Amino acid sequence: MRTEHMHGEATSLKRREFLMASAGLAATFALGGLPRNVEAASLTLPPLPYAENALDPVISANTLGFHYGKHHVGYLNNLNTLVAGTEFADMPLESIVVATTGKPDKVAIFNNAAQTWNHTFYWNSLKPKGGGEPPAALKQRIEASFGSVEACKKELAAITVSQFASGWGWLVLEGGRLKVVKTGNADTPMSAGLKPLLTIDVWEHAYYLDYQNRRADYVNALLDKLINWEFALKNLG
Ligand SMILES: [Fe+2]
């Protein structure tokens, strides 16, 4: 019995070693053999750069929770599903946006990729206790392009509020000058060769819980109290 038992232990050990080695081999083999879409790492969202209640009361925790946790995550999940197994599966997000811009057969991928990118850019365009005076280096550029910070804010608010239906208002850089533009739905100024500096989301999900139809109140409050001028300066490079 004893011999058998010892023999049994030795066998078990050997068997365990064999299984571990096999598992290692299997893992290596599986990694090399998996289809591209399974092997590729899915795109992920960066966490919000502040707490969900940090922009309250200008943007409530309720709005932010739905906006980030449902809408933004929803675009990302759609995107990961759409690109699985395609030529876009291994691309960084920005490259997917650029590669699918203006391609009628890639509209769904573009929409979800651009919305994923735009929203991350939007979270960073805001900060708790934002607004106020831009840093001196940015202020100088704003004054050169718009005359004053107030004029810049007024133009950005006006163009953003005037976006018909869903879309985005942007402060951008074009040929060394700052300007304001608006885009519809998921569109991004990058498609037109413009460099985004700041954005404001005017899809209704961005403000309807807090402001209902008062889009202008949302945009003006955001510019006065949340806009992140430091982020714009960083993007200016
Ligand atoms: Fe949004």
Q: What is the pLDDT of residues 122-152, one digit of tens each?
A: 999 999 999 999 999 999 999 999 999 999 9
Give the mean model confidence (pLDDT) for residues 186-204.
96
User: Ligand 1 centre and the CA of 122: distance in Å?
Assistant: 8
Q: What is the DSSP letter of 102?
A: T
Does residue 118 register a pLDDT over 90?
yes
User: Ligand 1 centre and the CA of 210: distance in Å?
Assistant: 14
Give the mean model confidence (pLDDT) for residues 66-71.
98
Q: Which of 39-53, 102-116, 129-143, 186-200 has the lowest mean pLDDT?
A: 39-53
Structure tokens at 190: 């990058």
User: Ligand 1 centre and the CA of 65: distance in Å?
Assistant: 11
Q: What is the DSSP letter of 95?
A: H
Radius of gyration of the chain (CA): 25
Q: Which residues pair with 195 in a beta bridge?
A: 173
Phi, psi for 133 (deg, rounded to 5) = -80, 130
Calculate the CA dihedral of residues 74, 80, 83, 88 and round it to 10 degrees. 110
- pLDDT recorded at residue 117: 98
User: Ligand 1 centre and the CA of 202: distance in Å?
Assistant: 7
**Alpha-carbon span 165 to 162, nearest angstrom:** 9
Q: Mean pLDDT of all residues in the chain?
A: 87
Sheet of 195-201, strand order: 177-184, 167-174, 195-201
Closest CA to 60 of 228, 207, 235: 207
